[in-house]
Homo-oligomer: A and B are copies of this chain.
Amino acid sequence: MQLQLSTWPEIEAHLAKSRAILIPIGSTEQHGPNGLLGTDALCPEIIARRAGDAAGILVAPTFNVGQAQHHMAFAGTITLRPSTMIAAMMDWAQSLRRHGFEKLYWLNGHGGNIATITAAFSEIYHGVSFAGAGHNQPPLRCSLRNWWELPGVMDVCRQLFPVGEGSHATPSEVSVTWFGYPEAARQVAMSPRIAPNGPILDAEDFRRRYPDGRMGSDPSQASAAAGEKIVSAAVKALIAEFNQFAAD
């Protein structure tokens, strides 16, 4: 059940049954020679929507631009300053709280988002934490989960790609997007086969260290078929975890 494809009376009816919502959150940033700029937003979106359809979970629109300053030396990357991202997440949370949502489960697609998402949770909680005795703020609970850390998912990935998974522009995430958008699959020569790995600093330093944008990965192994297996595992795990969170 997608919020953007629902009417308001349908959401009102849903709220009578559940106070929880699933929010895909990602980034728009370079993903190497054959990975899509939308990879980190598309992966959680693909997984979340399938889980929503299969289990009646309400899925919010995708928060599709995140924390990507370190990829800014590659064309097409779009980034929010952390302070902007915190403000925007505050507004999403305040909007949803107004309607009676009490549990926000953010399914994240980008490692570089983790810090700012966590900081945003803290900013959201500050409203209550500063308020002291006698306040009338309704409860609100946020949860962050990176899709690749859903139980069982990394096992599938490691089985599929025992070598060259790496940490950015991985064959696993590229596969997930190709499964979702088969027409986007493309063969691109890349060398060396496995990209270098190392630290992440500013944008210019990133491009010097990782000239084609990959970090430690060999995404030439990606395939839509592999993506299907990963998505299947992720959807199953997500449904279980979300329902547990909603029921707590």
Residues of chain A touching chain B, judged by Cβ–Cβ distance below 8 Å, are 2-9, 11-12, 15, 28, 30-38, 41-42, 60-62, 64-65, 67, 69-70, 72-84, 86-88, 90-92, 94-100, 112, 114-120, 122-123, 125-126, 128-132, 134, 136, 138-141, 181, 184, 186, 188, 201-205, 213
Contact = CB atoms under 8 A, between A and B. Distances in A.
A84 B82 contact: no
Contact of A3 (B15, B37, B80, B205): B37
Contacts of A205: 141
A95 B78 contact: yes
9 contacts: A4-B28, A7-B34, A61-B78, A65-B88, A72-B98, A72-B130, A81-B91, A128-B203, A141-B205
Contacts of A42: 4
A94 B92 CA distance: 23
Contacts of A129: 69-70, 72-73, 79, 98, 202-204
Contacts of A64: 4, 61-62, 64
Contacts of A126: 69, 79, 81-82
Contacts of A114: 115, 118
A98 B132 contact: yes
A30 B3 CA distance: 10
A121 B11 CA distance: 28
Given A11-B76, A83-B123, A87-B87, 8 more contacts: A4-B36, A6-B37, A9-B33, A69-B129, A81-B91, A84-B87, A88-B88, A128-B202
